Each structure stands twice: as structure tokens, then as C-alpha cells.
Amino acid sequence: MSPAPRSAASVGVANWEGGRIAAEHLLSLGHKHFGLIGGVKNHLYSRARLDGFRSALSAMDLHVEPRLIGAADWNRDEARDFAVDILDREDRPTAIFAASDMMALGVYDAVRYLGLDIPGDVSVVGFDDVPEATWATPQLTTVRQPIQEMGATAFRMLLRLTNQREGIDPNTDGPRIELATRLITRGSTSSPA
């Protein structure tokens, strides 16, 4: 999704910060060799999540090899195919960050297909905290978006804007509220073998 047009009010999450906290978690476990799976390349929030992740690596003088960065169009099957490609080699990454939980579950599919183990062979972190994240075995470590809070905040913003409709200047940006994300640590991450 592209950024909201000028003068549109919006509620979102701190995507860049979420990517950064995912990387810091994996770094704290000792990982240094990463794979990244983004959504659509030109989507602002996909790029922000990956940029936040890379920023934390850069602060530690680390980087992700370009061949280990893929775009899966928010699609589980495309993420699985990319993950099979980067995991089916001797120098595979020890951790993969996917910009959505559904793509992270595609990594789970690849790991199963290759006969590998999460988190023994590869740690996996997603983004969103969809219900399926807790159904996976092991449960997926993920960056939680506060979906209910986003909906309630957007509703309050809509009411406020509706009540002050006459005073809105179409030549100025509408309010932008960005809510915090947080890491939910579950069983899909551990120190590298």
C-alpha cells in the first residue's frame, strides 16, 4: 500500500521500529547471518520494516547479502519458494525475518520441506501477530501490531474529523498517528547452532 495521499488522516504502526526490534532480538541471540523476506518492493511499510531491520545490523557493522533478500508479494507460497532457495545450501542464514507472519509461515513450510528444524537450524521472526502465529509449531516469534488499538484510534479520529469538517484545510496534511509495535517472543527463535 502506498502512503496516504496529502490531507488524508491515517493511523498506522511504527514499521521501521518493528523491524529494528526484530533484528535486535536476533542479534541478542548471537545471529550474524540473515535472510530477509519483504512484501511488495514499493510498499512503504514493507520497505520500512526491512530498513529498520538493516539499520540495527548496520549499527553492528553487519549487513545482509543481496542474494538473501527477497520479495514475496505478501504471499506464503512465494515466501516458501524463496526460503527453499536460500536454505537449501551449505551457507544458509541462521535466521530469517519476514515482513509478515503469513510469509514467515511460508518459511516454516520451506523448513519442513527441507527436513530442517525451527529454531535448531534456523530462527524465524514474523510481523503482525496474526492468530496463525500461535497455531504454528513452534509458535512464531513476531512483531505485534496493535490492531484493536488501531481500529479504535481510527474510529475516534473519524468522529473528531467529522465533527470539525468545516475547518479542515484541504491543502494541509491530515493527522497521522503511528502506534508502537512490540516483540512477542515465542518458540521460533534461539541462539544459532
Q: What is the CATH number of the domain that holds 109?
A: 3.40.50.2300
Predicted pLDDT of residue 173: 53
The rounded distance, in Å, linking the Cα atoms of 89 and 182 is 32
Exposed (0-12), middle (13-18) or buried (19+): which is 160, by Cβ within 10 Å? exposed
Q: 95 - beta bridge partners? A: 34, 123
Is a pLDDT exceeding 70 seen at residue 151? no
Q: Is 159 exposed, middle or buried (0-12, 13-18, 19+ CB in 10 A)?
A: exposed
Supply the pLDDT for residue 165: 61
Residue 5 is predicted with a pLDDT of 47
Return the higher-pLDDT residue of 166 and 92: 92
d(CA 154, CA 133): 25
Q: Give mean pLDDT, residues 6-26.
A: 82
pLDDT of 167 reads 56
Domain that holds residue 30: 10-148+177-184
Predicted pLDDT at 178: 74
Percent of the chain with pLDDT over 70: 82
Q: Is 171 contained in some domain?
A: no
- C-alpha grid cell, residue 130: 496474526
Angstrom distances, CA of residue 124 to CA of 15, 120, 152, 153, 175? 18, 10, 30, 31, 35
Quote the CA–CA distance of 179 and 181 in Å, as a whole number: 7
Give 144's contacts (C-beta < 8 A, 6+ positions apart).
128, 129, 181, 182, 183, 184
Which pLDDT does position 193 carry in this prediction? 87
- More confident: 113 or 11: 113
Domain presence at residue 144: yes
How much is the pLDDT for 15?
A: 87
Q: Helices marked H in 115-172 — which ranges? A: 132-135, 147-163
User: How many domains does one find in the chain?
Assistant: 1
Mean per-residue pLDDT over the chain, rounded: 88
Prediction pTM value: 0.85
pLDDT at 85 over 50: yes
Greater pLDDT, 177 or 65: 65
Asked, for residue 162, whether it belongs to a domain, the answer is: no
